[in-house]
Every structure is written in structure tokens, then in C-alpha cells.
Amino acid sequence: MSKSFLEASARERARGLVDPGTFKELAGPQDRLESPHLPVLGEAVSFDDGIVAGVGTIGEKKVFVISQEGRFIGGSVGEVGGAKMVGSFKLALAEYERLSEAGALREENRPVVLISFETGGVRLHEANAGLLAHAEVMDCIQRCHGKVPVLAVIGSKVGCFGGMGFVAAATDMVIMSPEGRLGLTGPEVIEQEMGKEEFDASDKSLISRTTGGKHKYLMGDCNYLVPDSLEAFREKVKMAAALSYEEIIKHRRIGSKELALKQLSLAETIADLQPSDSMDVWRFFGNQEPEILPELSVEEFLERAVPRERREC
């Protein structure tokens, strides 16, 4: 039986998403790259700062993996974690340049950056460093354009929120499970700021309908939906890595004037619709029985679901 992606640790995900036995961790716990800020505040540290970075392979491709650990301060991003993310991008770009200069670059060996998100966003303990890390990662994604594809996988317990939600949206492809969560502001923060009447953070069904993988797939924020297993994510990542660069970037959701206008059109449409629940939006897209979608298996859901792309907004 394949291991649940939801239950897998960051290190298990990093190893399991590439070809078996190929992952080599860089700047791991043995290097003790711990946050310099947490001890000052009396907080415990982690020797990997809650993020696993390294390189593996999928076929001929080198895959530079970044995997966040939600069990350490909610997968929050600080100075060390940000540096490890940026370092991974720089290694991927260096590999691209090496192959290009040698005249050896082919689609079969084009390097890939793969991010397994599990984070609430900026680490408040070191907010300025965390915000800078987010900006640097976004800059790295821009530097990868035309060179190195960036893939995102989201299916871990914490989900992907805060500034890292922006980062995930900027990647070339997003793969999620129904259990995955993606958004800007987390449910608890919405409830805290707006009240329980606006958003009940204890309502798991509501959270799933607004930030979960099925909703994100219907809205076009997620390109592929897979069951909650490490094997299913690995197979979809393998499929993505086999695509040409031009095929991969067709999955982008932002990054051009055309895509920006498409997002603005969607926002205007939904504002005019004034939905009381996300299921109202699903019905608008053509899902005649939206209330049954949350209960369907991934296979059944993909057979029945009508995503936004099939309807002009």
C-alpha cells in the first residue's frame, strides 16, 4: 500500500518524489544550519530549519527538490529556510547553464525545480528575513523562465498559505490532492480577523470547499488532481517532467497579460454572481450536482467535474 502523502514527512516526500535511491540531501541536519533568531526568543531550533533541500533524478533529468516540514513552526519560512530554497534554484540554474554552454542541453536532461509546499507563510519570529526570502524565491522563479521549469506539489497537512501561496501560484504547474490546501490567508486567521460568522475555521467541509484541491482544480488554480498517496504524486511528477518545456509552461495560471486579464474576468464574474458558497460557483461552471462532488473519489470526480476552463467567463 502506498504511503499517504498527507502523512509523509518532508524528507519522505523529497525522497519519494524522485527516482528511488537517487535523492541526495544538501545542507541537511548534519550541517546544523539552524535559525540564528529563534534562540534569542527562547524558541527551540531544528537542525534543518524545517526544510529539506537536495537533488535527485527522474530519468535523465536532475530534479532540485525543496520540501517543507509543517511539523516545525507550521512550515514557516525564515532566513535559513529561505536561503536553502534560493540555493536550490541557483543550483538548478547553474546546471542549466552548464549543459547549455557544453551544447549538451536536451529536453530529456533539462533540470527541474520541484517544491513540496507545507507552510503557513512567513515565520513571524523573523518576519523581515522571511519576507525577504519570499521575494528572493519569486525572483528566482522569474530567472528560471525560459530555462528551468518549476513544479509545485501540495498535499500535506498544513497546506500552502501566506506569501508562499503567491509563490505556488507563480510556478509553472501545480499538482494537488483533495486533502491539499492552497490560499493566501489561512482559515484561522480569517476567523480571527473577520469572526466565526464570516468563516468558521472548525468547519472542515467549508475549508475544503474554499481552499481544498478539488475546489482549486475546478477554479483552474490547480492543474492536476491526484489521490492522497506518495506514489500518485510521484507518477504525476514523472509525467510532468517528461513534457517539453513549452508543454509545461502552457499550464501557467499567471505570468502574462492574457492570463492576468483572464483572472480579472473571473473575479468580475464571481463578484457579479455573489455566491453564498463555493458550490454556487461550481454550479455556474456547469456542475449540475455540486453537492456530491466533495464526496467523490478522485477518479469519479475527474470524470464528472466541469472545471472553469470549459466555460467562458
- Asked, for residue 263, whether it belongs to a domain, the answer is no
Instruction: Give me the phi and psi of 251, to 5 degrees please.
Output: -85, -5
How do the residues of the chain divide into helix, strand and coil, expressed in percent and rounded to 5?
Answer: 45, 15, 40
pLDDT at residue 271 in the model: 93
Across the range 81-91, mean pLDDT stands at 97
CATH number at residue 63: 3.90.226.10
pLDDT at residue 261 in the model: 92
- Asked, for residue 304, whether it belongs to a domain, the answer is no
Hey, what's the cell of 20? 528511488
Query: What is the separation of C-alpha 242 from the centre of its chain, rounded to a whole number of angstroms?
Result: 19
CA distances from 306 to 215, 303, 312 (A): 11, 9, 12
Across the chain, what does the average pLDDT equal?
94
**138-182 confidence digits (pLDDT tens):** 999 999 999 999 999 999 999 999 999 999 999 999 999 999 999
Of 113, 111, 145, the closest CA to residue 256 belongs to: 145
More confident of the two residues 58 and 187: 58
> Cβ(45)–Cβ(32) under 8 Å?
no
- Report pTM: 0.95
Sorted by sequence, the CB contacts under 8 Å of residue 124 that are 6+ apart come out as 76, 130
CA distances from 25 to 16, 49, 64, 248 (A): 13, 14, 10, 26
The percent of residues in the chain predicted with pLDDT above 70, rounded, is: 98
Number of domains in the chain: 1
- Asked, for residue 271, whether it belongs to a domain, the answer is no
More confident of the two residues 14 and 197: 14
Say if residue 58's pLDDT is above 90. Answer: yes
Q: What angle do CA 273, 278, 284 make, to 5 degrees?
A: 50
- Asked, for residue 199, whether it belongs to a domain, the answer is no
Domain limits for position 75: 10-182+221-255
Across the range 96-114, mean pLDDT stands at 98
> Cβ(9)–Cβ(68) under 8 Å?
no
**Secondary structure class of 146 (helix, strand, coil):** coil
Across the range 108-131, mean pLDDT stands at 94
Sorted by sequence, the CB contacts under 8 Å of residue 156 that are 6+ apart come out as 5, 6, 8, 13, 68, 70, 75, 116, 117, 118, 180
- Asked, for residue 209, whether it belongs to a domain, the answer is no
Q: What angle do CA 124, 125, 131 make, to 5 degrees?
A: 50
- Asked, for residue 296, whether it belongs to a domain, the answer is no
- Asked, for residue 213, whether it belongs to a domain, the answer is no
pLDDT at residue 127 in the model: 87
Say if residue 188's pLDDT is above 90. Answer: no
- Asked, for residue 201, whether it belongs to a domain, the answer is no
102-106, 111-115, 122-126, 161-165: segment of lowest average pLDDT: 122-126
More confident of the two residues 198 and 205: 205
